[in-house]
Structure 1
Amino acid sequence: MNIANQILFAVVITSVTGTAAYGLWRLLMNSRFCTKPQYVYLALFLVCLLYLIPLDYGWMQMTIHDYLQKEGIWQINFSLTGFLWILAFFAAVCWLALMAKGITEFAGSLRGMKRIQMRDIPEEEEAVREEFARVKKKLGIRSNIRLYRNDRITSPMLAGIFRCRVVLPDIAYDRKHLSVIFHHELMHYKSHDPFVRLCGMCVTAVHHINPLTGNLMVLLDEWSEIYCDARAIAAISDEMDAGCYFEMIIESVKHSPVTDENYIFSMLYENQRRLERRIEYMGKYNGKAASRLASMCFAAAFVLMSVTPVYAAGNGAADVHDDIYQNVEAVTADGGEEIVLEEQQILGVMDRTYDTLEYAYPELEVISPLLSANEMATFNWNVSPGTRMVSNQFWVTKGQTIHIGSTAIPDSSTYWIGIMDGLNNARYVEGTGNLSHGFSITSSGHYRVFVQNKSSVQINAAGSYYFN
């Protein structure tokens, strides 16, 4: 068997083996296995290794050449003649050409990073260096990882593969933001993410003919961030909770300019969709203990979009879970019978439930005084189909409750009553006729009361609201 046949056969065998492992990983993702990010990430790394290391090929070679047994059952004739040889030669040339193309593109990315790296300058601010040293010591990292600034990057990153360094954009951060950034990036280093990413790049270069490997780097990027988040949140738990951790990430990147440049290394924030998925997963991973995360940080998309609620409603950012259900009791009185409703929550950036957002008192938006505690305000609104009518904003402190009562005519029409926070995230209950509910406030801020018409006819909603 000539060397060309051996290489081609080894690639085919490893591609089949890796694909089988990838399929098993996909099946495991539908089980309780996916509740532990370290298992998911480790299994994904093993899939990469099976794509790269020709274990089955080596075993078959030893069997065929009588290293393990004299008469093996694998009597495969590797020699190709005639038309089959020409076909195999053509396939090998195409594979090599496409692999060379992939390697060239990767080399181009590396050259681009080298040009950006030339603008790295050592961090000069003493307070930043001290915080970096503190987090390194806390995480038990003794390696000589250097800290740099770069005015070309838009988000903090861990750069390099064998000689790693943390690079900050030319943005001023306070101590809490720096703590989150350093915990996150140094956890990438402790998780050996640069090496894992290198393995993923090699898989996509060698097995480019396999369509399933095209998504492998995306999965590695996503799960490396999730695994890093889980470890960083555990390490920083003595300083802040998961909700505050993601708050700091959101605030760290919300002023960063948009860029299409692919940095190929681990970044604190790469795109809005991925950050949403990270927050969503950690909310599930932490379970009920992540209530603050769910209530405060699922607004990440709106902060990053920085657009009006009408734009968000019309165009939306991502098609992920629109509703986050909370088991809170709401009561509607209809014929004296109490019905327990379910309070629901929806992110402002993903809120496509209305066509029009209408302010009840637009001419008073700026000059009207804020509502005081225990001060009752009344409303009498005519709300068109597909319209959300909102009140003026007022300040409510964490721990207080906003109480709303409303009666709608026609009493058979479905509508919502609810509240909106400063990021246009909505909490509401749905019903007909008479509705009343108290919304507990988990985060201090400005709120508005709203009525939203979910029917096909205009309704008149009259009622009152107050907080205490």
Structure 2
Amino acid sequence: MNIANQILFAVVITSVTGTAAYGLWRLLMNSRFCTKPQYVYLALFLVCLLYLIPLDYGWMQMTIHGYLQKEGIWQINFSLTGFLWILAFFAAVCWLALMAKGITEFAGSLRGMKRIQMRDIPEEEKAVREEFARVKKKLGIRSNIRLYRNDRITSPMLAGIFRCRVVLPDIAYDRKHLSVIFHHELMHYKSHDPFVRLCGMCVTAVHHINPLTGNLMALLDEWSEIYCDARAIAAISDEMDAGCYFEMIIESVKHCPVTDENYIFSMLYENQRRLERRIEYMGKYNGKAASRLASVCFAAAFVLVSVTPVYAAGSEAADVHDDIYQNVEALTADGSEENVLEEQQILGVMDRSYDTLEYAYPELEVISPLLSANEMASFNWSVSPGTRMVSNQFWVSKGQTIHVAATAIPDNSTFWIGIMDGLNNARYVEGSGSLSHDFSITSSGHYRVFVQNRSSVQITAGGTYYFN
């Protein structure tokens, strides 16, 4: 059996295997599997490997005997004769021509990046280099990753495949923006994204005839960003919350709305729609109660008001939250209806409802032990206007309920009681005087109870909370 038949058979087998794995990945995306970005991204990478590594071909070579095998384990009978041979010959020529076209386009992109790379200059500003070194040390990266500036790019990026470097556009950033940029780009490095993208490009080149592989690179790009966001938000949580993280990203790129689509490396911002999808996913990552439509609307509104002058209007943008809510009835002990409270939600990345986030117990002090189930905690907080006072965090599992009750003085002052998850996504009810509400938990994680003053005078709020 000649080498051409061997190659053709191997490509066909890997294409079938990869397509089956891709179909399974699509099915899993409709299940709870998609709530963990690391699983989604890892599975997508495995799909790429199954497109590239001829495992089934090797298994057939080693195990199948009889008609498919003639003189040895490396002699599968896959030869073609007559008209089928001519048809296969033309198919192979077309396949090779299209693959050559794809490789040529990829080489052209590399040459373009090489020309841009020639304008890279080492970062000269000491404060920027120190911040880069700080984040590298914090993330435990010891590799020699260089930091450059380039006046031809429009967004920070991680460039290179085997010798990676972080490249900044010729824009001045403050320390908070630099921290977000470096956490994000270095997380791409820790996740081995350059190698994963290389595998995706190889799949696209080899299996270009398979229509299902055309969208594979776009999926890899999108999920690499989502996975990177999840890891970066966790790593930077000691410096800022998720909302501030995305604010810094949007502010970093709002002066550069046009994207260079020819870039083949990991960028902080590639296009507005993809950024909207990242914000949407992270909004649902630890809180599944909000509907998909609500998350899309919130994310789109956040991006639009962030990249336009309307963003300066501040808290007025929070009015959009009032349009989406769930009706929950507060019941007395005997089951009769006491009053109707509207449980509402705000994604952390969009929350402009408060001016100050104040911790009832300073985070730098020794944190008290985590709350246990059915253990009641009490509070008595003085809350200034426009301030959200939050408790220590405690772990609550899916299916449990957090019970919160509070009374505020003056009793005619409007305030919120609610809970916040690890991404600062808030669920709350609004009222005055005495309020109580039960918040059902749909996703396990760390939560905080909060009281937010919505009046123009200082209030004193006392109450209790527990979960079971």
TM-score, with length taken from structure 1: 0.66
CA change 1:316–1:188 in 2 (3 A) is: farther
Contact 1:226 / 1:278 at 8 angstroms: preserved in 2? yes
1:180/1:416 CA distance change after superposition, 3 Å: closer
Q: Which residue of 1 aligns with 2:391?
A: 391
Aligned length: 468
For residues 58 and 207 of structure 2, the distance between their equivalents in structure 1, rounded to whole angstroms, comes to 18
Q: Distance in 2 between matches of 1:235 and 1:416?
A: 30
Tell me if the contact between 1:185 and 1:268 (Cα under 8 Å) persists in the aligned partners: yes
Q: Which moved more, 1:351-360 or 1:160-169?
A: 351-360
1:387/1:205 CA distance change after superposition, 3 Å = farther
Displacement after TM superposition at 1:211 (Å): 0.6
List per-residue Cα deviations over 1:399-434 (Å, max 9, x = no partner).
999999999999999999999999999999999999
* 8 A contact 2:404–2:465 mirrored in 1: yes
Structure 1 residues 10 and 319, CA gap change in structure 2 (3 angstroms):
farther
Matched residue of 1:47: which SS? helix
Structure 2: gaps of 5 or more residues: none
Q: Identify the range of structure 1 (124-133 vs 368-377) with the bigger mean alpha-carbon deviation.
A: 368-377
Distance 1:26 1:444 in 2: 25
SS for the counterpart of 1:298 is helix
Instruction: Say which is worse superposed, 58-67 or 20-29, in terms of deviation.
Output: 58-67
User: What do residues 248-299 of structure 1 show as CA deviations (whole Å, max 9, x unaligned)?
Assistant: 1111111224134321110111111111111111111122899999999946
Q: Which moved more, 1:109-118 or 1:396-405?
A: 396-405
Per-residue CA distance 1:326-374 (angstroms, 9 max, x = gap): 5678999999999847577899999999999999999999999999999
Deviation at residue 387 of structure 1 after TM alignment: 33
Q: 1:415 to 1:190 in 2, by over 3 A?
A: closer
Change (3 A) 1:465 1:364: farther
8 Å contact from structure 1 (residues 299, 348) kept in 2? no
The 8 Å contact of residues 331 and 337 in structure 2, kept in 1 or not, is answered as no
Question: Does the 8 Å CA contact 1:159/1:166 hold for their aligned counterparts?
Answer: yes
Give, in angstroms, the shift of residue 27 of structure 1: 1.1
Does the CA-based 8 Å contact 1:383-1:452 persist in structure 2? yes
Structure 1 residues 85 and 23, CA gap change in structure 2 (3 angstroms): same
- Classify the secondary structure of the residue corresponding to 1:457: coil
CA distance in 1, matches of 2:361, 2:139: 54
- The alignment's TM-score, normalised by the length of structure 2, stands at 0.66
1:178 is aligned to 178
CA distance in 2, matches of 1:65, 1:395: 57
Quickly say closer, same or farther: Cα 1:150–1:45, change in 2 above 3 A.
same
RMSD of aligned C-alpha atoms? 12.0
Contact 1:382–1:460 (8 Å) recurs in 2: yes
> Does the C-alpha gap of structure 1 residues 89 and 274 become closer, same or farther in structure 2, counting only changes over 3 Å?
same
Q: Which moved more, 1:407-416 or 1:224-233?
A: 407-416
Contact 1:313 1:350 in 2 (8 A): no
For residues 32 and 152 of structure 1, do their structure 2 counterparts lie closer, same or farther at Cα, with a shift above 3 Å needed?
Answer: same
The answer to whether the 8 Å contact 1:414/1:431 transfers is yes
Q: Percent identity?
A: 94
Query: Aligned residue for 1:204?
Result: 204
Query: For the residues of structure 2 that align with 1:2 and 1:318, how far apart are their CA atoms?
Result: 68
Residue pair 1:415, 1:432 contacting (<8 A) in 2 also: yes
Which digits, 9 at most, give the CA deviation of each residue in 1:130-175, with x for residues without a partner? 0000000011100000000111111111000000000011111111
After the TM superposition, which of the residue ranges 28-37 and 395-404 deviates more from structure 2? Answer: 395-404
Shift in CA distance, 138/427, structure 1 to aligned 2, threshold 3 Å: closer
Please give the alpha-carbon distance, in whole angstroms, between the structure 2 residues aligned to 1:128 and 1:242. 23
- Residue range with higher mean Cα deviation, 232-241 or 48-57: 232-241
8 A Cα contact 1:333 1:434, kept in partner = no
Q: Distance in 2 between matches of 1:270 and 1:281?
A: 16
Give 1:74's aligned residue: 74
- Cα 1:411–1:76 shift into 2, 3 Å: farther
Say whether the 8 Å CA contact 2:415–2:430 is kept in structure 1. Answer: yes
State how 1:212-291 maps to structure 2 within 5 Å. 212-287=212-287
311-320 or 98-107, which moves further after superposition?
Answer: 311-320
Assess, with a 3 A threshold, how the Cα gap between structure 1 residues 72 and 246 changes in structure 2: closer, same or farther. Answer: same
Q: 1:30 to 1:409 in 2, by over 3 A?
A: same
Mean Cα deviation higher: 79-88 or 444-453: 444-453
CA change 1:288–1:345 in 2 (3 A) is closer
Q: Distance in 2 between matches of 1:78 and 1:99?
A: 23
